[in-house]
Amino acid sequence: MKKSLSLLLAVVMVLALCPVFASAEAATYTEAPSLAEKVQAGELPPVADRLPSNPQVLEVAEVGTYGGTWRQAVTSGTFNHAQHHLTGYLSNGNALIYGQDKTTITTGWLESYENNEDYTEFTFKLRDGLKWSDGEPVTTKDVEFWYNDILKNEELTPSEQYYTDCTLTVVDDTTWKFNFETGKPLYLAKWAYNDGSPFVYPSHYLEQFHKNYNSEDELAAKLSEEGFDDWTLMFQDRMNDQKNMDLPVLGPWVMTCDPAATNTITFERNPYYWAVDQNGQQLPYIDSAVISIVESTDLVNMKVIAGEVDVQVACVQESFSNYPLFAQHAEEMGYHIETSEFNEPNAMNFHFNATSTDPVKAPYLGNADFRKALSLGMDRATIISTFYSVGPYSSEVAQTSFLAGSPYYDEEWAKEYTEFDAETANKMLDDLGMTEYDENGFRKTANGETFDLVILCPNFDAQWIEVAEMVAHQWRENLKVNVNATQVDPSLWGERTEANDFDITNLTGSNGFLYVSSGSIGDWTGCTGYNWGTRFMPGVHIKDGDKAFEPTEDMQKLMDLGTQALTTTSDEERDEAIKGIIQLHKDNLWAIGIGRRLPAINIIKNSYHNVANLDQDWAYGFCGSSRPDGYWTEDK
Amino acid sequence: MLQYIVKRTLVLIPLLLALSIVVFIIIQLPPGDYLTTYINQLRSTGMEVTEDQIKALEARYGFDQPMYMQYLKWMKNLLKGDMGYSFVYNRPVNALVGSRLPATIAISLVSTILIWLIAFPIGFYSATHKYSFGDYAFTGISFFGVSVPEFLLAILIMYLYFLVTRKYAGGLYSDVYAGKPWTWDKIVDMLKHVWIPLLVIAITGTAGLFKTFRANLLDELGKPYVKTARAKGVSNMRLLIKYPVRIALIPFIATVGWMLPGLISGQTVLSMVLSLPTVGPLLITALQNQDMYLAGSIVFVMGLMAMIGTLVSDILLAVTDPRIRNSM
Amino acid sequence: MQDPIKGLQKVNRREMKRRKAAYKAQSEREVDSIYVASQWKLTRMRFKRNRLAVVGFVTLCIIYFIALFANFLAPYGKQDYNANITNMAPHGMHWIDEEGSFSFRPFVYEIVKGYDPVTFAPTYEVDTTQKQYISLFVKGTPYKLFGLIDCDVHLFGVKEAAGPNGGIYGVYLFGTDQAGRDLFSRTLIGAQISATVGLIGVLLSFFLGLIMGGLSGYLGGTVDVIIQRIIDFVISLPTIPLWMALAAAVPSNWPVTKTYFCITLILSLVGWPSLARTVRSKFMSLKNEDYVKAARVAGASTPRIIAKHMVPMFTSHLIASLSLSIPGMILGETSLSFLGLGLRAPAVSWGVLLADAQKFRNVALYPWTLIPGLFVVVTVMAFNFVGDGLRDAADPYL
């Protein structure tokens, strides 16, 4: 063991001493032993033929050796992004990749990209000789297939998304252009942030499932063979890299099992992967990957302390209270814990339904002074020391605001009304006319009606209801406002908030760093986690017509500024718009925060190398900018 | 007898119809549908879902049709043996349930047989050795067995296993064997995992059966005919096996049918704790996601099994117990 | 293996001896009274002789007494958060201090919170130089006794919680949870819901079972067939989906306890068939008994025959089966809470406490959070003892 380790170290050192050539020469490409065997046996073409003529050269910190299995475990919950995004990320190489700073963009399997000054024309070029995981070449034919047969097919894509209303011009086999009517300044950012191959699909494989390429009889035969009623359902299943193991992909690994049929999703290396390390070794280093689907996060935790998880963020990140459990076994089981900042700006915020249609509650829920009074009536220090304090870590008192570290951090917003001041709060409530009390000692409305509020708490995490109840308790005790907390399933919670049928709800907020992201107005309208965009944008679906509601004047302003921030091509204008958004939040305090979220937990086996900058964000498959194709492990 | 069976089977048809309607209502009872869940999911990943898209999705999943049409469509397919389509998994329900059924039935069957193999012999021993040390020991364990929450026991055993071996004990076998064909190594590996659920079931499941069997057998042993037979010199073991044990077993044989639905659902709670790939957790996920056809079909099949089980039980009861047989 | 019959004979001999001794021990008057005792009295006498059943009965009495006076017996309220003592191991009272001198009045030391430098788990240091005596009838968190009377007196506790070193004084017999709430208090208060909420549901399904089974068994014929098929139907409805559907359909502004109570009631509408089956078979066998026929011939009305002549014959059986179905409800509550379907925080029940305790970090690092599980086991076991005792006592063959 020791000997082989020192040998390994020697090899690594020798390799590290080798001069690094930015573009390794074609003749020097090497591959994993398992692939070399297949080449010997004539089952695969040689590595130089499988790689593009100019593969991406990933400069890894430590040049690695081939082998090993990367193990992770996630839960099979309702709202679990983890499973989807991990499988997507492992098998789906990115066209564009965000750098560590989340502002610079580099290429993935694209060779180059370009845009004109007003962001209406984007030119993309594929790496020459790029191949799908089954060895078929990737060409602009695949882009045309995506454009004509998926995007422009009304059955598959019923309405156009903000980023897809473009026209396609194919230049040659590897080059194409997208043209937009209006400028899309954040277009590239959108694709770099999200996972997935946004504009190519393996036409040679998918045509067999598409209506346009099959006669009705053929399609019917295919449907019965695959067990579907409807060709769109079949096509969407077959084109989904997270559900179909047969779909040719561009990622470092290829799924090798049907994820619906098993509790363990397995991956094998993609022999046609398009990146090499600085020494010309084809990536990825790690042979295979395994994701176990278990029934609860507790079982994930158990796998961690049993040393059956190698590198993982998903699921283990959520609750910092588990730190002692992980730390207790870390040394013995050979892993260590790192932390990363959450993008969610608050440990928990309380969002008030300012558009409530309840005649008794609406005048208060919709009143900024009422919300501010409740914010002052909250003893944040106690809440934090009880729930959000583990060892030396303790969350910092704050409203739900853009985070320190983002260019738009505003300390005034972060700290306003966070001081515990029951006296002022009670005076504010008195000023609102709530001066009479019912038989239980709770405040009545100015009109003398009994007044009670319910915090609708989604069951995303068992601790949420505890915190919500503590806050409700404080409001009852300190302010004599009758608030109670109740817990519901996420699906029911979604239904109720969608239908405007709630008083207060709690969330952790979203996008606190204001990453340029998915192209949703919601990302720009403030990080309360509340789906502003989806509720107030024109043409957005509102359930329960009888409970129809209108955004208030300030909310409408917020939407307009959000739209402006999203669409403007001028950086100054965007800054102005965001400043306006911040001011609106400061004035209205639609959501009351408690404090910053404790950091996310990342578990890393000591035997894994090149694992740095993991990210809690699902959109990066939880790997951030760390490039899992460059991980390597001593556990073979 | 035959007439009785035919009559009972015919009555099943309207009952099944009623069952399918009630199941459909239960599944539809929570507000919202799968689309709500799906749209929320899309939105929480930053996608915007417009009204057009929702309309298209509604049409695709058939949610735009009136409730009775949805029901009829489901029924029509059910009659053909097609349980519909799972929205969450993008798979036909038949395939989904089918992939989990072998493990489910295997676990249920093995645990049932295990329970019987343990409960009857020790019940027999306890009843024939009343107030002996062994009887007290078995009775004590069985009292503990019926009193301890199953999930708690499973978690504790799992943790103790971890403390001793430093290994994770969930699932049916180690991840490396997933999707691999059954080899000797895989079987050995499975045996290392599967004993935990079996042990839990043996403790919690055996207890009730043991207690009832012991009580039944004691009742029989106290009856005059046993004394008479013994007085007449019928050999001991023969006497016991031939009459009292047989009679004490009748209620169990007769209720075998009631185990049918359990065979399908598997040990739901236990499967959740230990992450076993049975149908139970699938049903829970389906219900939480309002995955209507998946949930509805599993619930319906469970109900169907319960009905068939009752029928089988009644017939078995008639076959085993001459008193009932003759009164028909 | 030992020959079972020999064992049996041995047991029978032993049993006979035991019985003889028992009879001898009884007074003459009591022996006489056996011959004229009513069924009830006989049952009671036999029950009293079953030691396990009596132990179970006494245990249940204690548990229900605790449930009744939980708020008074508990030193803290169910929502008394305290950040200074999160996840603290049980910390009881002392009688003997550092110097070895004994004090009849128990006292507690000051506890100061810290954390483990490696794992960050909270650690608690006891400062033996600072102590405070336990007082009886201390004023504490206000509560409503029996849900009616405003009160703030607790049986025991410490008068001053803040210690001079920034730590605290307190009695935490079962330790505390993640929010620093006293588990002992929460377990006692949890008994209120856990030990009672199932009762009403069981009672309702009991009466339904009695009526349906009675009708089916006594009337027979078409009524019997119809009720039998209804039973078949109800049995085939799976509980968990029904529960989930109902839980989601209940208005969200209802308090948890009310929701849970409501669903339990509805579920009892589904829970009656097994009892109905038992009742039916009893009725079937009894209605041909001579004394029932005699009553009928004598012109007694049907309700009178049922109420006066038939039901008393198996009431004790029914009570036994009732007392055996209550533990099912208690265990069911914990399982549902585990699945996230049952009672939920902020309500406090044993199921809620256990759902929290079953988190892996609690089992591994804070195992005292499992103590409520012990209460579940003890209560369920006591119900089983009593139920078994009642059944044996009611059985004329023993």
Which residues on B lie below 8 Å from C242 (Cβ)? 26
The percent of chain B in helix, strand and coil, each rounded to the nearest 5, is 80, 0, 20
**Per-residue confidence (pLDDT) for residue A12, from 0 to 100:** 41
pLDDT above 90 covers a percentage of chain A that reads: 38
Mean pLDDT of C80-89: 88
Residue A57 in any domain: the answer is: no
In chain C, residues 327-346 whose CB comes closer than 8 Å to chain B = 327, 331, 334-335, 338-339
Cβ contact, residue pair A539, B50, below 8 Å: yes
Kindly state the average pLDDT of the residues B272-279: 85
Q: Helix/strand/coil (H, E, C) string of A110-130?
A: EEEEEECCCCCEEEEEECCCC
What part of B 125-154 touches C (C-beta under 8 Å)?
A: 125, 128-132, 143-144, 146-152
Is residue A430 very low, low, confident or very high in pLDDT (cuts 50, 70, 90)? very high
- Give the tokens for residue A94: 């990115």
Which residues sit opposite A318 in a β-bridge? none
Nearest residue in C to A329, CA atom: C119
Look at residue B275 and give its three-state secondary structure: coil
Residue of A nearest to C356 (CA): A462
Nearest 5°: phi and psi at A598? Answer: -65, 155
Chain mean position to CA A432: 41
Nearest 5 degrees, angle CA B222-CA B228-CA B234? 105
Q: Is the pLDDT of residue B248 over 70?
A: yes
Nearest alpha carbon to residue C361 among A460, A318, A347, A290: A318
φ/ψ (deg, to 5) at A328: -60, -35
Q: Among residues C111, C117, C120, C73, which one has the least CA distance to residue C90? A: C111
Q: Which amino acid is at B4?
A: Y
To the nearest whole Å, the CA of B52 is away from the closest chain A CA by 6
Q: Say if residue A19's pLDDT is above 60.
A: no
Chain B touching partners, 3 or more CB pairs below 8 A? A, C
Sign of CA dihedral A624, A625, A629, A633: negative
C200 CA: distance to closest CA in chain A (Å)? 24
Sequence-distant (≥ 6) Cβ neighbours of residue A485 within 8 angstroms: A454, A455, A457, A465, A468, A469, A471, A472, C346
d(CA C214, CA C217): 5
For chain A, the average pLDDT equals 83
CATH pick for B100-279 out of 2.60.120.1440, 3.30.470.20, 1.10.3720.10, 1.10.1040.10: 1.10.3720.10
Distance between CA atoms of A395 and A598, rounded to whole angstroms?
6
Angstroms from B125 CA to nearest CA on chain C: 7
Give yes or no: residues A301 and A370 share one domain. Answer: no
Rg, C-alpha atoms of chain A = 27
Please say if the pLDDT value at position C206 is more than 70. yes
Distance, in Å, from the CA atom of A11 to the CA atom of A4, rounded to the nearest integer, reads 10
Of residues B53 and C158, more confidently modeled:
C158
Helix (H/G/I), strand (E/B), else coil: C342: coil
Residue type, A207: E
Residue A507 contacts residue A487 (beta carbons within 8 Å): no
The answer to whether residues A617 and A587 belong to one domain is: no
By the 8 A CB rule, do C194 and C330 touch? yes
Q: Does B302 touch chain C (CB under 8 A)?
A: yes
Phi, psi of C92 (to 5 degrees): -90, -165
CA–CA separation, A484 and A101 (whole Å): 42
- Per-residue burial over A551-583, b if 16 or more Cβ lie within 10 Å, else e, is beeebebbbebbbbbbbbeeeeebeebbebbbe
Cβ atoms of B118 and B202 closer than 8 Å: yes
Confidence of residue A288 (pLDDT cuts 50, 70, 90): very high
Q: What is the pLDDT of residue C3?
A: 47
**Is the CB of C307 inside 8 Å of chain B's CB atoms?**
no
| Contact: A325, C360; criterion CB under 8 Å | yes
**Dist CA A343 CA A510 (whole Å):** 7
- Asked if A429 contacts A479 with a C-beta cutoff of 8 angstroms, the reply is yes
- Is A16 a residue whose pLDDT tops 50? no
H helical segments located in A194-259: 203-206, 216-226, 231-238
Round to whole Å and give the CA distance between A520 and A498: 17
Contact B272 A230 (CB under 8 A): no
The pLDDT value recorded for residue B49 is: 64
Residue A531, φ and ψ in degrees, nearest 5: -80, 70
**Residues of chain C neighbouring B240 (CB-CB closer than 8 A):** 4-5
Which residue in A76, A263, A296 is closest to B171 by CB distance?
A263
For A431-452, give the DSSP string.
Answer: HTT---B-TTSPBBPTTS-B-E
Which of B14, B11, B60 minimizes the C-alpha distance to B33?
A: B60
Q: Do B131 and C235 touch (CB under 8 A)?
A: no
Closest CA to C113 of C131, C86, C94: C86
- Tell if the CB–CB gap between C5 and B288 is shorter than 8 Å: no
Residue B231, SS3? helix
3-class DSSP state for residue A551? coil
Burial A3-32 (b: 16+ CB within 10 A, else e): eeeeeeeeebeebeeeeeeeebeeeebbbb
A-B CB pairs within 8 A amount to 167
Domain shared by A353 and A442, yes or no: yes
Predicted ipTM > 0.90: no
Query: B32, A495: Cβ pair inside 8 Å?
Result: yes
**Residue with structure tokens 């027999």?**
B124
The pLDDT confidence band at residue B243, using thresholds 50, 70 and 90, is: confident
pLDDT at A541: 38
CATH number at residue A416: 3.10.105.10
Contact call for B96 and A260, based on CB within 8 A: yes
Q: Which of the residues C236, C246, C374 would you substitute to probe the B interface, choosing the one with the greatest number of B C-beta atoms within 10 Å?
A: C236
Count of helices and strands (H, E) across chain C: 16, 5
Q: Which of A101-105, A538-542, A601-605, B311-315 has the lowest mean pLDDT?
A: A538-542
Query: Higher model confidence: residue C60 or residue C388?
Result: C60
Interface test with B, best of A186, A527, A534, A566 (most B CBs within 10 A): A534
- Kindly list the domain boundaries of chain C, sorted by start residue: 91-171, 185-393
Note which residues in 337-396 of chain C have CB less than 8 A from chain B: 338-339, 354, 358, 360, 363-364, 370, 373, 376-378, 380-381, 384-385, 388, 391, 395
Q: Which of A298, A391, A484 sits opposite C120 (nearest CB)?
A: A391
In a domain, A21, yes or no: no
What CATH number corresponds to the domain at position A193?
3.90.76.10
Question: Does residue C262 have a pLDDT over 80?
Answer: no
pLDDT computed for residue A491 by the predictor: 72
Pairing of strands A452-458, A482-488: parallel
Tell me the HSE value of B122 on the side-chain side, using a 13 A CA sphere: 25
Q: Which parts of A459-499 fold into alpha helices (H)?
A: 462-474, 490-498
The count of structural domains within chain A is: 3
| CA-CA-CA-CA torsion sign (B259, B264, B269, B270) | positive
Mean pLDDT to the nearest integer, A458-477: 87
What's the confidence (pLDDT) of residue A13?
A: 40
pLDDT in tens, A343-360: 888 888 898 888 888 889
User: Touching check for C309 and chain B: CB below 8 Å?
Assistant: no
Q: Do A261 and B170 touch (CB under 8 A)?
A: no
Q: How confident is the model at residue A327 (pLDDT cuts 50, 70, 90)?
A: very high
Lowest mean per-residue pLDDT among A506-510, A576-580, B320-324, C369-373: B320-324
Residue A154 is assigned to a structural domain of this protein: yes
CA distance C134 to chain B (A): 35
Residues of C with CB under 8 A from a CB of A: 79, 81-83, 86, 115-121, 178-180, 248, 252-256, 340, 344-346, 355-356, 358-361, 364-365
- Yes or no, beta carbons of C120 and A324 under 8 Å apart: yes
Q: Do A302 and B168 touch (CB under 8 A)?
A: yes
Last residue of a domain, one of A576, A593, A610: A593
Please name the fold of domain C185-393: MetI-like fold (1.10.3720)
Q: Is residue A470 part of a domain?
A: yes
pTM (two decimals): 0.85
Q: Which residues pair with A168 in a beta bridge?
A: A178
Cross-chain Cβ contact B30/C248 below 8 Å? yes
Domain that holds residue A336: 29-46+63-90+240-341+599-636
Q: Tokens 């309220």 identify what position?
A: C77
Q: Which residues contact A488 (CB under 8 A, 6 or more apart)?
A: A456, A457, A458, A459, A496, C248, C252
**Would you say residue C86 has pLDDT above 50?**
yes
Residue A14 lies in a domain: no
Q: Which of residues C15 and A10 earns the better pLDDT score?
A: C15
Q: Do β-strands A264-269 and A253-255 pair in parallel, antiparallel, or remain unpaired?
A: antiparallel
Q: Is A315:A82 a contact under the CB 8 Å cutoff?
A: yes
Helix (H, G, I), strand (E, B) or coil at C166: coil
Minimum-distance CB partner of A495 among B31, B46, B85: B31
**How much is the average pLDDT of A569-598?**
88
Q: In chain B, where are the structural domains located? A: 100-279
The verdict on A393 touching C (C-beta cutoff 8 Å) is yes
Nearest to A418 by CA among A445, A387, A397, A432: A397
CB nearest to C252's CB, from A323, A386, A486: A486
Q: Which of B54, B60, B73, B90 to mutate to test the interface with A (most CBs of A within 10 A)?
A: B90
Is the Cβ pair C358, B155 closer than 8 Å?
A: yes
Q: What confidence score (pLDDT) does residue A6 get? A: 44
- Comparing CB atoms, the residue among A305, A391, A465 nearest residue C115 is A391
Q: Which pLDDT belongs to residue A145?
A: 93
